[in-house]
A and B are shown apart, each in its own frame.
Chain A
Amino acid sequence: MFVAKINVTLKESVLDPQGQTVLRTLHDQGKNSVADLRVGKYIEMKIDAKSQSEAEALAKEICESVLVNQVIETYRLVVEKV
């Protein structure tokens, strides 16, 4: 069994109002050393596959067809054996 850990965030070129709001709150608290903040989502997916590469290929395909809208989002994918 494998687990795919996927982080989805808005692309750098896309304004993230959620992140900006949280950042503003932190700055209001005086935490001015926080230079930037972006809010995304984390998705975990268990995959029953024969090999690491099979799990990775399936996870990538699912990311690009369902989990991520590549017009506005980007993602990082890590697949681990469990």
Chain B
Amino acid sequence: MKVRVVTFPGSNCDKDVGSVLESEFGAKVEYTWYKESFSDTPDLVVLPGGFSFGDYLRCGAMAKFSNAMDSVVSYAKKGGKVLGVCNGFQILTESGLLPGALLHNRTLKYICKDVDLVPVSENRIGKEMKGTLSIPIAHGEGAYFADPETLERLEKNGQVVFRYKENPNGSLHDIAGICNEAGNVLGMMPHPERAVNPYTGKMDGKQILEVLLKK
């Protein structure tokens, strides 16, 4: 099982997700610096959390202009699986692989805590998960926004993967994670990689990564 983790200047969860995929799932992880391209077909590409390019201008706005992202876009368009966590989710929306955008949290506060996620059973990723998942969030700009037509389309197509049980940031429709229409690109604000190892006290993230790593 091969996973590529893309690292941008300012990414700070790349090693977190990479080491968890190696130690808990036995994946062979390769890190791709943003200036590099790739043309192989790993089982999963991860855009990690962090503050790519300092999050200047807008979160994720600079990251989309990179060789690595050109490769990610063409890999995703061929059906390759992509997971974007937190800043990775912001990059996915900025690059057009997922609809909508992430706004400042409604409270304007940076929120760092465990939240309860409800997997949406109409979604083929969400339906494989059991019960409510407790996963940490850590973001200042995580309020999901899309225009009413886009929201309606997401709901109708079953593209909402996770909702917050108690909305922490003002996301429309309590959205915590969505996927593209084909279902191979998933973006989410919560950090599943921080809830995999028993030393972190949380294990619910394992379910999410397990489903994504499934052939």
**Which A residues are within 8 Å of any B CB, using their own CB?**
10, 13-15, 17-18, 21, 66-67, 69, 71-72
Contact = CB atoms under 8 A, between A and B. Distances in A.
A14 B100 CA distance: 12
B104 A71 contact: no
B108 A18 contact: yes
Interface of B: 57-58, 61, 65, 93-94, 99-101, 103-108, 145-147, 170
Contacts of B170: 15, 17
A2 to B, nearest CB: 21
B96 to A, nearest CB: 10
Nearest to A68: B58
Given A14-B103, A15-B170, A69 B58 contact: yes
Contact of A17 (B99, B100, B107): B107
Contacts of A72: 101, 103, 145
17 contacts: A17-B104, A17-B105, A17-B106, A17-B107, A18-B108, A21-B108, A66-B57, A66-B61, A66-B65, A67-B57, A69-B61, A69-B94, A69-B101, A71-B93, A71-B99, A71-B147, A72-B101
Interface centre among A13, A14, A21, A72 (most CB of B within 10 A): A72
Contacts of A66: 57, 61, 65
Contacts of B58: 69
A15 B146 CA distance: 12
Contacts of B57: 66-67
Contacts of A21: 108
Nearest to A11: B147
B56 to A, nearest CB: 11
A66 B62 CA distance: 8
B173 to A, nearest CB: 14
A18 B104 contact: yes
Contacts of B104: 17-18
